[in-house]
Structure 1
Amino acid sequence: MGISRHATAHWEGDLKSGKGVISTPQSGLMDNVRYGFNSRFGDEKGTNPEELIAAAHAACFTMALSNKLAEAGSPATSLDTRADVDLSMEGGPKLSQIRLKLKGSVPGIDADKFKAIAEDAKENCPVSQALKAVPISLEVEFV
């Protein structure tokens, strides 16, 4: 049996004037965090699905990369990942692109090897696998 995690969402009202809250009761990370049309399509404070996908992808990719580097005999000193998830409105809303930006310090390997291992992690982390319908790019900075 695998591992199961959950989050909850509650919504009241129509799309534009309605409001909702999202919670992650198992971790306590979010408890009734507000989300709505204006936090998704405007600049109102609150979260949105794209931000949550970006957080999940950055975390999953970075963990997968950490594991692959350790397996290659070169554990990372530090890895920092930013994930940008783009929502396109052309033809209706859809995720159009994900850009991973990685900065890493890894003793014992060169920049080319680091980039190759990072590309493998990008292709194979569970969140990347789940998001295969969306183009995912990776920018690597080796320090």
Structure 2
Amino acid sequence: MTTNSASARYEGFGKNGKGAISTRSGVLSDQPYGFGTRFEGQPGTNPEELIAAAHAACFTMATSFALASAGHDVGTLETNCVVTLDKDGAGFKVTRSELSLSATIPGISQEDFASIADDAKANCPISKLLNCEVTLEKSLAG
């Protein structure tokens, strides 16, 4: 079992409030977030961006380990993730996480690549955590 932690602080309330996010590792240290960073494109981060980063990283790592288990030890994986936040009644809900994988893996068939990527999408811990539609576009160079 592994555990990780992060913290968030928010001063003021609603649209006028300002927050900061920090992680145990220090990768994020008092990173600003709030209404402006979430809905108005202001500098800083927001929860959905952090979810997208976590999902892209988790899926890519799961794919990498599955490829290694299948005997592939050379190649490149690049994943983009777009998380969609939609209105849900009086609040909001994450409704989609769209993964897009571009890979270069010498010696793998299209079928094996697709099977490994699809399995990673279904079984990476962040995919399992999310309560939304998860999609995957994949392309194999060469």
Regarding TM over 0.5, the answer is yes
Partner of 1:68: 66
| C-alpha distance in structure 2 between counterparts of 1:83 and 1:68, whole Å | 19
CA distance in 2 between partners of 1:63 and 1:97 (Å):
20
Q: Percent identity?
A: 48
Distance 1:64 1:102 in 2: 12
Aligned residues, how many?
A: 140
**Aligned counterpart, 1:120:** 119
SS where residue 5 of structure 1 aligns?
A: coil
Between Structure 1 and Structure 2, which shows a larger proportion of strand residues? 2
Tell me the CA shift for residue 77 of structure 1.
0.8
The letter for the 2-side match of 1:49 is: P
User: How far does the alpha carbon of each residue in 1:113-137 deviate from its partner, in whole angstroms, 9 at most, with x for none?
Assistant: 1011000000000111111x20000
Aligned: 1:17 with 2:10: no
In structure 1, C-alpha distance between the alignment counterparts of 2:74 and 2:61, rounded to whole Å: 11
- Which 5+ residue runs of structure 1 have no aligned equivalent? none
**For residue 38 of structure 1, what is the aligned residue in structure 2?**
36
What is the TM-score when the length of structure 1 is the normalising length? Answer: 0.94
Alignment match, 1:4: 3
Match of 2:84 in 1: 86
Unpaired stretches in structure 2, ≥5 consecutive residues: none
Q: TM-score, normalised by structure 2?
A: 0.95
